[in-house]
Amino acid sequence: MTGTEDERPDNGLLAEVEQAIADGAIVPWYQPLVDLESGAVVGIETLARWILPDGTVRPSGTFIPLSEESDLIVRLDHAVISRALAEFAAWHPQHPGTALSLNLSGRHLDRPDCADWVERALAEAEVDPALVICEFTEHKPPNDLALCAATLDRLRDHGVRVWLDDFGSGWSGLQHLRELTIDGVKLDTTFTRAAASPLGEAVVRAAVDAARAFGFSVTLEGIETEAQARHAREMGCTYGQGYWWSPAVPVEELDSVLDAVSELPHLGQ
């Protein structure tokens, strides 16, 4: 068990991911972000999908975690974001009320050029910063908290909204939250599932209440039923995402998804 393949089992896949980025085979798909109060689609989140030559779609879980082990994720994110901004620039005029959410690995926050890159990408695609949300995943604490805070401040000064993804499951302790200025947090699917039990619900409410106390918007992911959507709203969440409204779809299918969401029953009072 000491061969090279055992020591570096992911080398083959890493090389494939690099090639896929170069070939433009890792592309943005989009999942609607819904205002739980009005039921309106207020944004679309960009999610990476790897399209194989035979049309097979590989979900992000098969290549993002590996890419996040190195700065490969930065190149991957740049490729997906650049394409998403170009698609959004073309799609948005017909949907003026809709924002674009972009995923950036926490690794971007260790780089001094992060805000520069985002500002330049928005300018090149001619996308209004006020329409853009940058979601940073918090898989590990930033190396340099001052640099991280400066980057987030600069993005916000530029007009971009900044959210922390996977809130409550990464490094965001209360101390960090006091030092970092952000606009919103996202709670992942585990919170939605947990909310089904009384103890789990207490934990979800605590997380929502803490985020709201800081003035953040709260998005709950993984909502699959109307009952979960109502519950999310009742617990004080601002936005919801999940299969109840739609899975992520390619840009060509977005218009019909938005039509279908508008036909869903209103969550009511």
Does residue 68 interact with Mn ion by CB under 5 A? no
Query: How far is the C-alpha of 153 from the C-alpha of 164, rounded, in Å?
Result: 14
Q: How far is CA 147 from CA 72, 153, 166, in A?
A: 21, 10, 21
Q: Smaller CB distance to ligand G: residue 137 or 217?
A: 137
Phi then psi for residue 53, to 5 deg, are: -55, -30
Partner that binds at residue 73, options ligand G, Mn ion, none, CB closer than 5 to 8 Å by kind: ligand G
Which range of residues in 30-38, 87-95, 104-112, 164-172 is near Mn ion by CB under 5 A?
164-172
* Shortest distance (Å) from residue 241 CB to ligand G: 9
| Shortest Å distance, C-beta 166 to ligand G | 6
Choose the contact partner of 87 out of Mn ion, ligand G, none; CB within 5 to 8 A by kind: none
Tell the smallest beta-carbon distance from residue 6 to ligand G (Å). Answer: 28
* Residue 188 beta carbon to ligand G: minimum distance, rounded to whole angstroms: 7
Is residue 138 involved in binding Mn ion (CB under 5 A)?
Answer: no
What does 138 bind: Mn ion, ligand G, none (CB cut-off 5 to 8 Å by kind)? none
CA distances from 109 to 117, 143, 145 (A): 12, 8, 9
DSSP state of 39: -
Q: Which is nearer to ligand G, 65 or 112 (CB)?
A: 65
- Count of CB atoms situated within 10 Å of the CB of 2: 5
Q: Can you list the pairs that 224-227 forms with residues at least 24 positions away whose Cβ atoms lie under 8 Å?
A: 224/192, 226/264, 226/265, 226/267
Instruction: Verify binding: residue 103, Mn ion, rule CB under 5 A.
Output: yes
- What is the phi/psi pair of residue 41, to 5°? -75, 115
Q: Least distance in Å: CB of 263 to Mn ion?
A: 26
Structure tokens at 154: 């600069």
Contact 238, 259 (CB under 8 A): no
One of 165, 192, 220, 223 touching Mn ion (CB under 5 A):
165
Least Å distance, CB 4 to ligand G, is 28
Return the H-helix or E-strand segment holding 81: helix 72-91
Whether residue 243 contacts residue 224, with contact meaning beta carbons closer than 8 Å, is answered with: yes
Q: How many residues bind Mn ion (CB under 5 A)?
A: 3
Cα–Cα distance, 229 to 239 (Å, whole number): 9
What x/- string results for residues 217 through 236 when contact with Mn ion is judged by CB under 5 A?
Answer: --------------------
- The interface mask with Mn ion, positions 167-206, x = CB under 5 A, is ----------------------------------------
